[in-house]
Amino acid sequence: MFRLGKADPDQPQTFGHREASTPTQSLGWYIDAITRSEEAINDNPKVFLDQNMLDTVDRVKDAMINFFDICDSDIYVTARQNRSNPFYSVKPSNHNFGLKSRQEKKEQLYKPIEALGDLVKIDQKTSFIVKVFFKKQN
């Protein structure tokens, strides 16, 4: 039996990622993400409108489209100010990442993205997100 303050054992673990519980909440989260992204671009257009950075974002999107067999509209791209290290976050909306073999992931997804260099970082803590930075990452 579920007790208030305890994790519900019947619900899957989310590892910090939450699904929206209502369509209204989902819309609110979407509007917040778009608003924050627009603010970041307006506050720092030199970084977020840099053609090299935008080209790198497009290459990441192409790799995701080819690997996940999705449309361009199925990929979320948001700008994040992140103090002094701004980046674009590129994330597929609904993906079949778990259905692919380790070898397929390595050859068809990781290699093309990693070939883009030090400006790109793959983050897989809660879902598959690629961050494209303005400055090189260590």
Going by their DSSP bridges, the two strands 75-80 and 129-133 should be labelled as unpaired
> What does the alpha-carbon distance between residue 33 and residue 43 come to, in Å, rounded to a whole number?
15
What pTM was estimated for this model as a whole? 0.78
CA 32 from centroid of its chain's CA atoms:
15
Give the tens place of pLDDT for each residue, 60-102.
999 999 888 888 989 999 999 987 889 999 998 866 777 778 8
The β-bridge partners of 94 are none
For residue 86 the two structure tokens come to 């701004």
